[in-house]
Each structure stands twice: as structure tokens, then as C-alpha cells.
């Protein structure tokens, strides 16, 4: 069945306030493999110095989960940022190491931003960015909610 264009909702007009959600699921064993590959540049280009140092303080059996969860969070954020731009050309070139995930004193994750990515977000002026990261078995999952 072919849908006529006038029957499709108008996704191009977004009114304020609005929300955008991004999710990502990563396979932890891939991160474990990468951690064992001494020649990989993946961690240097994907994580901040702080994240790499923090990951090295984790017990060896938790490092892959740590990095997989943070990678999922970065991917979920990018998806949330792109989600509200449905049917529009992408306007963001991402440097993953400009996105950092830390935890507050109670273990709740939050974002810190640097460089061009920080400037991009400051121009967007989101009202709120919420982050959740979960791990189970071989998977890390993250969800990001942006409110504009």
C-alpha cells in the first residue's frame, strides 16, 4: 500500500518544548577484545584522557563493561541530537573525545562536553539532558533524553 504524501504527518515542524530520545546497545566482548589489542587507536579517539584513566582504575574484569557503557552513552546522545532533525540534513560532525561521561557522588552518570561539541550544544540550548547506562551479561545499554 502506497501512502500519499499528504497523509504523512509533518515531521519537519517541531514546536517547543520537545523531547528527543536516543538509545544504544553495545556488545561488551568487542570492547574486551579491543582492550587486548595494544595497537588499537580506538580508545584514544573515542574516550577522553579522564575516561581512559578512570577505566584503567577498574578491575580488569570490569574495564570492557566500563568502556562499552560509555560508548553506548555517546552513541545514544548523538542519536538523540539527530532524532529531532528528521528529514533534515545532518549538521553535526562528532569527535567522540569531546563527549565525556562521569558519575556524581551517588553513581549517577552525567555528560561533560568540550571543544566544538560544547559550542554546538551551547548553541542548541537544551533545557535538560538525562542519561542512563545499564549493563547485563554481554551487553551495555544507554538511553539519553534531551528536552528542548
Higher-confidence residue: 8 or 76?
76
Q: Is 4 annotated as a binding residue?
A: no
Closest CA to 82 of 5, 10, 146: 146
Decide if pLDDT at 56 tops 90. yes
For all residues of the chain together, what is the average pLDDT?
Answer: 89
Q: Is 60 annotated as a binding residue?
A: no
Instruction: Answer for the pair 107, 32: CB distance below 8 angstroms, yes or no.
Output: no
Decide if pLDDT at 127 tops 80. yes
- 5 — pLDDT class (breaks 50, 70, 90): very low
| pTM greater than 0.75 (yes/no) | yes
Question: What cell does 87 get?
Answer: 528529514
Decide if pLDDT at 123 tops 60. yes
Amino acid at each position: 500500500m502506497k501512502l500519499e504524501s499528504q497523509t504523512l504527518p509533518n515531521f519537519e515542524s517541531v514546536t517547543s518544548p520537545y523531547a528527543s530520545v536516543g538509545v544504544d546497545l553495545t556488545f561488551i566482548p568487542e570492547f574486551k577484545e579491543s582492550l587486548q589489542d595494544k595497537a588499537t587507536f580506538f580508545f584514544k579517539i573515542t574516550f577522553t584522557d579522564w575516561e581512559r584513566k578512570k577505566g584503567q582504575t577498574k578491575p580488569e574484569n570490569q574495564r570492557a563493561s566500563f568502556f562499552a557503557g560509555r560508548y553506548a552513552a555517546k552513541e545514544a546522545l548523538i542519536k538523540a541530537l539527530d532524532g529531532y532533525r528528521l528529514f533534515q540534513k545532518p549538521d553535526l560532525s562528532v569527535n567522540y573525545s569531546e563527549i565525556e561521561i562521569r558519575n556524581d557522588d551517588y553513581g549517577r552518570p552525567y555528560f561533560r562536553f568540550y571543544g566544538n561539541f560544547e559550542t554546538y550544544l551551547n548553541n542548541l540550548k537544551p533545557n535538560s539532558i538525562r542519561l542512563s547506562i545499564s549493563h547485563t551479561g554481554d551487553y551495555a545499554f544507554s538511553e539519553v533524553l534531551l528536552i528542548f
